[in-house]
Each structure stands twice: as structure tokens, then as C-alpha cells.
Amino acid sequence: MSQAGNRYEYEVYTRIKRGDNLIHVGTVEAPTEELAKVYAGYIYDEEDWVEMCIIRRDNIKWVIQPEGLFVKEGAVRHG
């Protein structure tokens, strides 16, 4: 359970019909996973999706992480 005031970013992925790839449609911010599901379903309701899932941003595990476009010389890279 999150403490009052904590909000987390969730990435929202959907599939429009069976066999299609999951596509990233946007993000939502919410204090809990359950509320993030409600927000995602409400905000991204423009299509008749067959699937929709959310992933909390800090749970994403990068296989290859892109470099920033404007990396400062001498800056410490985290990750």
C-alpha cells in the first residue's frame, strides 16, 4: 500500500484484436495499482480493446536502454 501523497507512473499497453502486437498508448499516474487500472480504462477507452495492461514504470527491466540525447560530459550514468 502506498503512503498518502505517493503517486506512481504506469505505462499502458493495449491490443486491438487477437494476434496483434501490444502497443504502448500512454501513461497514467495513480497511488495504487487498482486505481491505475481504473484510470487507464477510463482515459484510453477510444477503441474496443481486447486487452489492456499496465506496468509500473519502476518495474520495467531494460534489456537495452537508450542513451539520452543530450548526455553531459562527465555525468554519471545510472542503470
Per-residue pLDDT tens digits for 43-78: 999 999 999 999 999 999 989 887 877 666 655 555
Model pLDDT, residue 66 = 79
Residue 54 grid cell:
499496465
pLDDT of residue 54: 98
Residue spans of the domains in the chain: they are: 8-59
For residues 6-28, average pLDDT = 96
Q: What CATH number is given for 8-59 in this structure?
A: 3.10.20
Give the pLDDT of residue 21: 95
Q: Are 21 and 34 in contact (CB under 8 A)?
A: no
**The three three-digit cell numbers of residue 73, written as one number:** 560530459
Q: Is the pLDDT of residue 1 over 50?
A: no
pLDDT for res 62:
86
Which residue is it, cell 504502448? Answer: 24
